Amino acid sequence: MKLGSPDRNKGGAQMSSVTISLGAAGDVLARSGLFPSRRAPRLRREAIAQPVDRSLPPLRIALLVPFHGADAIWGPSCQYSAVMAAAELNAKGGILGRQIELLAADAGGDPAEVEGRVRALLASDAPEVLIGVHLSSVRERLSRAFGGSLPYVFTPLYEGGIRECGTFAIGDTPQAQLAGPVDHLIRSESAQRWFLLGHDYVWPRKTHAWLSQHLTARGAEVVGEAYQPLSEEDFEPLLDWIEAAQPDMVMQSLVGSACLEFNRAFARRGLSQKILRLSGALEENTLMALEPAARENLYCASSYFSSLNTPGNQAFQQRYYAVFGKNAPVQSVLSISCYEGMHFLAALTAQAGSLRLPRLEEAFRSGLWFEAARGPVRLKNGNVVAPSYLARAGATGFDIVARFDS
């Protein structure tokens, strides 16, 4: 499907276009009503118009985002941000002089099933790069299956310590994301007693392992720790445990729809009035679905919020809504990582001068700068160097409380 189909603008140049094939993911989207008739987001024709060089074969990039499962709530926003990034890059000559074609595969649900969908996409459409915005449990499966065969850019926040061949992780690690906000809450809110709650997979467990050590070093105490299967949304037994433990703060490493259900159940118990909560994965799409009572005393730590009042984010928001219109889905730290992953790939390949993995890995280790919604971002020693923010859930979005420079 063409987004911004080739046309002539007033100056006579051909419209920069982005091709995206939704495949089976389109059926899921059509059933959801988010993109009727398998349509992907459509660019306004006047928004990005530059001459297009068609002399080189297109670069096919497989976009792996969730269209069903616990994390599907941010899938549409990911699509929009990826299409915008691809259009911007194509208008500047593409990647390595090649125009980008986006292919989409559903990265939600069971990791083994996601692997099967990616194998089918590789066989049918032969993408040369994978860009994933999905759970770390899926990343582990895909890295084992395809590591070393093609570049795989993993963009969301993650647990750190990746040593998987051909996988380039650019998201926030626990230390970068949480250290400043946690210290601030200990000082300003007297949050001394912490209960750690997460989904039962690698990201929450490793994040909480780091956090437990950090809290101990700061003189705080972990009074409870529990993990819930991704498929389970009954939190009543856990709420009994939390209530009995009497924490000052509940750290919740829950994703998507379960995050909604937990915070709603927490508010129904009346706990939101007396116990603080901090999330590492609560994003704008989830927040918008929460009732006012469920937002009370709810914080989030992140390197990006759509409400950031920075020149880079203001310029991005202006471009985004100019391209897609005022009803486009809100962008968050998870979906915006998809946009940043595309621009990171462009910077990485430009520095490497190739898509060959050894050269890409050398460029990754040596460091680089790339464009991001929040402004230019630096990659140093394999980690992104960027501020982290603490925000409080407000009536219409996140209210920034403090910034912490890395």
**Does one domain contain both 59 and 146?**
yes
Confidence of residue 3 (pLDDT cuts 50, 70, 90): very low
Same domain flag for 217 and 130: no
162 and 181, same domain (yes or no): no
Average confidence score pLDDT of the chain: 87
Inside any domain, residue 252: yes
Cβ 106 vs Cβ 132: under 8 Å: no
Instruction: Specify whether 151 is located in the same domain as 274.
Output: no
Within a domain: 284: yes
- Looking at the structure, do residues 167 and 193 belong to the same domain, yes or no? no
State the pLDDT at residue 71: 86
Residues 131 and 258 in one domain: no
Higher pLDDT, 2 or 52: 52
86 & 212 share domain: no
Q: Does 4 reside within a domain?
A: no
Q: Give the pLDDT confidence score for residue 20 in this predicted structure.
A: 52
- Mean pLDDT calculated for residue range 284-294: 93
CATH number at residue 270: 3.40.50.2300
- Give the CA diameter of the chain: 70
Q: How many domains does the chain have?
A: 2
Same domain, 50 and 115: yes
Mean of the pLDDT values across residues 293-322?
Answer: 95
Question: What range does the domain containing 200 cover?
Answer: 174-302+389-404
Amino acid at position 303, single letter: S
* Domain annotation covers residue 11: no
pLDDT at 361 over 90: yes
Structure confidence at residue 185 (pLDDT): 98
Assess if residue 164 is contained within a domain: yes
Considering the domain boundaries, does residue 158 fall inside one? yes
pLDDT at position 333: 94
> What is the mean predicted confidence (pLDDT) over 176-201?
97
Tell whether 346 and 394 lie within a shared domain. Answer: no
Do 153 and 60 sit in the same domain of this protein? yes
What digits encode the pLDDT tens for the residues 4-37? 322 323 222 222 334 454 444 444 333 333 343 3
Mention every residue, 6+ apart, whose C-beta is less than 8 A from residue 330.
77, 284, 285, 288, 306
CA distance 107 to 63: 9
pLDDT above 70 for 311: yes
Is the confidence at residue 173, as pLDDT, over 80? yes
Instruction: Give residue 70's pLDDT.
Output: 82
Mean pLDDT of 368-391: 92
The amino acid present at 198, given as its one-letter code, is G
* Average pLDDT for 106-122: 96
Q: Is the pLDDT of residue 109 over 80?
A: yes
Is 5 inside any structural domain?
no
Spatial CB neighbours of 258, under 8 Å, sequence gap ≥ 6: 70, 199, 228, 230, 232, 233
Q: Are residues 314 and 289 in the same domain?
A: no
What's the order of all strands across the beta sheet hosting 383-385? 368-370, 377-380, 383-385
On whether residue 363 sits in a domain, the answer given is: yes
147 plus 208 within the same structural domain: no
